[in-house]
Amino acid sequence: MSAVAELPRHSDDRGHLVAVTAGVEVPFDIRRVFWIYGNTDGRDRAHHASRRTTELLVSVAGSCLAKLDGPDGTHEITLNRPDLSLLMPPRTWLELSEFTPDCVLLVFADTAYDPDDMITSRDELNHVTR
């Protein structure tokens, strides 16, 4: 089940700090971290699901729209705060769009990258989830 959650923010007169811990705010052991940025031409990203990887997405700057289609239905979430996270379980179709020019989308994953983990068509996803 995908889930949106607020991350703990610590604020004072100097600004804000958000920290995450594997197994706590990130509900898995982190095996890979990557970020998406520089999407200046308005092109969509993702359009895939994974077979076994769980990811946690956080927009640390700017914003983007995440469209999800999974076992718990279809949802749209705007990721626009560095203290807001989106948990993406396996077999959930993800489309990312509407990136602002300053968007930096940080992703924590529970597996190392494996191209064979990617499901790149909805037909294949429907076959996998039956």
Catalytically active residues are: 48
Q: Is 23 exposed, middle or buried (0-12, 13-18, 19+ CB in 10 A)?
A: exposed
Rg (CA), the chain: 15
Strand partners, 78: 65
Quickly list H helices, the chain: 122-129
